[in-house]
Amino acid sequence: MYFYTYVLRSKKDGKLYIGQTEDLKSRVEEHNNGLVTATRPRIPLKLVYYEACLNKDKAIKREKYFKTGFGRRYLSSRI
């Protein structure tokens, strides 16, 4: 089983949302269906980047890294 760290971009305001999940497809659908409070005002959202990790701890660490200045710089060079 994989754990995913993902980045969504709001088509409404262009801002990024960073998260982690076990089921990437379902989680993106939850975001776009307005079931996630943090992103509800910013839908529609597009999946612009993701990484698969072998365990949940590594996915959480990547999520925390992406939320730092260095992590955001890394993402801007990838997306």
In the predicted model, what is the mean pLDDT of residues 43-50?
98
Mean pLDDT of 51-62: 97
The pTM for the full model equals 0.93
Q: Read out DSSP for the chain? A: --EEEEEEEETTT--EEEEEES-HHHHHHHHHTT--TTTGGG-SEEEEEEEEESSHHHHHHHHHHHTSHHHHHHHHHH-
Residue 76: phi and psi, rounded to 5, are -65, -25
How large a percentage of the chain has pLDDT more than 70? 100
Q: What are phi and psi of 46, to 5 degrees?
A: -120, 135
The predicted structure's pLDDT at residue 22: 97
